[in-house]
Amino acid sequence: MMTKPKDRAFFLIERFSPILPFYSVIDNVNKSKQCALIAVYEIIQELDKDSINYKILLDYWNEVNKEINKL
């Protein structure tokens, strides 16, 4: 079972936050969001368009992208 898009978005942002230089909390969150969005973009680009699950995965990662932008 896949993680909920909102949980995945939070997880990705949380993963980038400790490895970025600390400027301020807001700056760090914004930079972490940018990194997470780049990661999601790259994942979407690498999806196998011939896969049976392509549409499901594409929808999932697009939802993750939306959730990152909301946070």
What global pTM score does this model have? 0.86
pLDDT of residue 17: 82
pLDDT digits (tens, 9 = 90+) for 10-39: 999 988 887 777 777 778 888 899 999 999
The pLDDT confidence band at residue 1, using thresholds 50, 70 and 90, is low
Cα four-point dihedral sign 44, 46, 47, 49 = positive
C-alpha 2/C-alpha 57 separation (Å) is 10
DSSP string over 6-68: HHHHHHHHHHHGGGS--S-HHHHHHHHHHHHHHHHHHHHHHS-TTSTTHHHHHHHHHHHHHHH
